[in-house]
Amino acid sequence: MHSASIPTTDHPDLAAPTHARQRVIGHVAAAQPGPCLLCIGAMHGNEPAGVAALMSVISTLTGGAGVELQRGDIHAYVGNTRALQAGRRQVDADMNRIWLRSARKRLDSAVDAERGDSLNPPGSGEGMNSEGRDQIELYRALQAAIDQARGPVYVVDLHTTSSPSCPFIVLGDTLRNRKFARVLPVPLVLGLEEQIDGTLQEFMTASGHVAIGYEGGQHDAHESVAHHEAAVWLLMASLGMVGPTAPARQKHTESLTVLRQASSRMPPVMQIDSRLALKPGDAFELARRFRNFESVQKRQPLATMNGKSLTASHAGRIILPLLQAQGSDGYFLGRDIRPAWLTLSTLMRTIGADEILHLLPGVRKHPDREETLIVDPSIARWWSAELFHLLGYRVRRRQGSVMIVSRRNHGGTLGR
Ligand SMILES: [Zn+2]
């Protein structure tokens, strides 16, 4: 049931911390300038694996184990400090749904007002709910790090799932985000950002930074900490921040092995097609305890909601099935994408071919709306749903015989 109890943990590193609420896990600065990597754990308070992993990474980098930061800065933060302390996904609201475009002005003015003051001044965020206060505090910390960055800024937001899962990546589909994520040998899930609004990674991408979300595995699984650690090491290595000492190379090899083993037999790219949204009070129950990414057949029963049976609209995969009491996504339905489409779409975007799609027969620009095309599939025979998806377009609706497709402008980057 949607009201099932939260699984408890027996993992010593994952026990809800009893110490004081803490934002900063650590900051390591290399002597040489370089990339600024911002890592966030526990944006959801019942996902402590990312925090445990970041503590381990920082202590390895500072512990004299021969793995030192060579270039740039790594900053590690707790996302939702109050929910982490409470051991709950959230206190008042989902903290990874409140980074909306409409929040930017408020957040920026809060930073401007406090710039130069401490990262967590007393009395800030009065009249706000718990996540609103954590959001301002986190944003202030991130902006302070960005102000002092000595190179390009990269963001990785570490999460875990309620269902058993291999590690995977979610990202706003820009070429720079794809390139950053490519170093991790785990599945890439596209299209989540089209289904949910207000994630930190989308917000940071729109701010002009490179940002990805990374899911390390199930909330309480021992391996999730190792999956998070491995990802952070590989990202640092790909940015040229660590190495080339023997212990650093060893870390790199171990990290690759851990993630390759965890993701073996998984498709490299998947696309989310639809989301089952839950409202508070909905009685939701999965048909069984699905694993994340389990294959499903067309019309296979997936869940019941308020007494009604829900079946798969197409053959594909069930993604992020909800096995906990808290959350507003029952499940997502998606499908595998052939990696060749990813390569082709990267090439098309690189040469700007995605800008001239409207010159093709059967495709024209929408007269009123930016980044929107009207497609007549009976004429546009070259049409492929996958290709449009991978160029960043989504089918908005069908109007008679034509389709309206549009794409998000990621903060003016148009997916580049
Ligand atoms: Zn999460």
Selected residue with higher pLDDT from 135 and 3: 135
Read off the pLDDT of residues 338-386 as tens digits, 9 standing for 90 and up: 888 788 888 888 888 778 888 887 888 988 888 888 888 777 766 666 6
What's the CA-to-centroid distance between 282 and ligand 1, angstroms? 21
What's the CA-to-centroid distance between 102 and ligand 1, angstroms? 22
Confidence of residue 58 (pLDDT cuts 50, 70, 90): very high
Is the interface score ipTM higher than 0.95? yes
Structural domains of the chain sorted by starting position, each given as residue range(s) with its CATH number in brackets: 12-262 (3.40.630.10), 272-336 (2.40.50), 339-407 (no CATH)
Confidence of residue 126 (pLDDT cuts 50, 70, 90): low
Task: Tell me whether strands 363-365 and 372-375 are parallel, antiparallel or unpaired.
Answer: antiparallel
What's the CA-to-centroid distance between 262 and ligand 1, angstroms? 19
What's the CA-to-centroid distance between 204 and ligand 1, angstroms? 16
Once rounded to an integer, what is the mean pLDDT over residues 110-136? 73
Residue type, 359: L
What's the CA-to-centroid distance between 205 and ligand 1, angstroms? 18
What's the CA-to-centroid distance between 77 and ligand 1, angstroms? 14
What's the CA-to-centroid distance between 44 and ligand 1, angstroms? 5
What is the per-residue pLDDT for 274? 87
Buried/exposed 164-193: b ≥16 CB within 10 Å, e otherwise? bbbbbbbbbbbbbbbebbeebbbbbbbbbb
Question: Is the model's pLDDT at 16 over the cut of 50?
Answer: no
Once rounded to an integer, what is the mean pLDDT over residues 240-247? 89
Is 37 within 8 Å of 77 (Cβ atoms)? no
What's the CA-to-centroid distance between 129 and ligand 1, angstroms? 19
Share above pLDDT 70 across residues of the chain, in percent, rounded to a whole number: 88
What's the CA-to-centroid distance between 193 and ligand 1, angstroms? 14
What is the per-residue pLDDT for 356? 81
Once rounded to an integer, what is the mean pLDDT over residues 128-151? 96
Confidence of residue 116 (pLDDT cuts 50, 70, 90): low
Question: Is the model's pLDDT at 182 over the cut of 50?
Answer: yes
What's the CA-to-centroid distance between 369 and ligand 1, angstroms? 33
Distance CA 368, CA 390 (A): 24
Read off the pLDDT of residues 304-343 as tens digits, 9 standing for 90 and up: 999 999 999 999 999 999 988 777 889 999 999 888 878 8
In sequence order, which residues have a C-beta less than 8 Å from that of residue 409 and are 6 or more positions away?
370, 371
What's the CA-to-centroid distance between 43 and ligand 1, angstroms? 6
Is 155 within 8 Å of 171 (Cβ atoms)? no
Ion ligand 1: residue ranges with CB closer than 5 A? 44, 47, 159
Question: Is the model's pLDDT at 199 over the cut of 60?
Answer: yes
What's the CA-to-centroid distance between 203 and ligand 1, angstroms? 16
Confidence of residue 9 (pLDDT cuts 50, 70, 90): very low
What's the CA-to-centroid distance between 45 and ligand 1, angstroms? 8
Q: Which two structure tokens, joined as six digits, stand for 359? A: 């010159």
Average pLDDT over the chain, rounded to whole? 87
What's the CA-to-centroid distance between 190 and ligand 1, angstroms? 17
Find the length of the chain: 416
Query: 3-state class of 395 per DSSP?
Result: strand
What is the per-residue pLDDT for 398? 78
What's the CA-to-centroid distance between 235 and ligand 1, angstroms? 20
Question: Is the model's pLDDT at 266 over the cut of 90?
Answer: yes
Question: Is the model's pLDDT at 402 over the cut of 80?
Answer: yes
Distance CA 131, CA 63 (A): 33
Residue type, 52: A
What's the CA-to-centroid distance between 80 and ligand 1, angstroms? 10
What's the CA-to-centroid distance between 373 and ligand 1, angstroms? 34
What's the CA-to-centroid distance between 73 and ligand 1, angstroms? 25
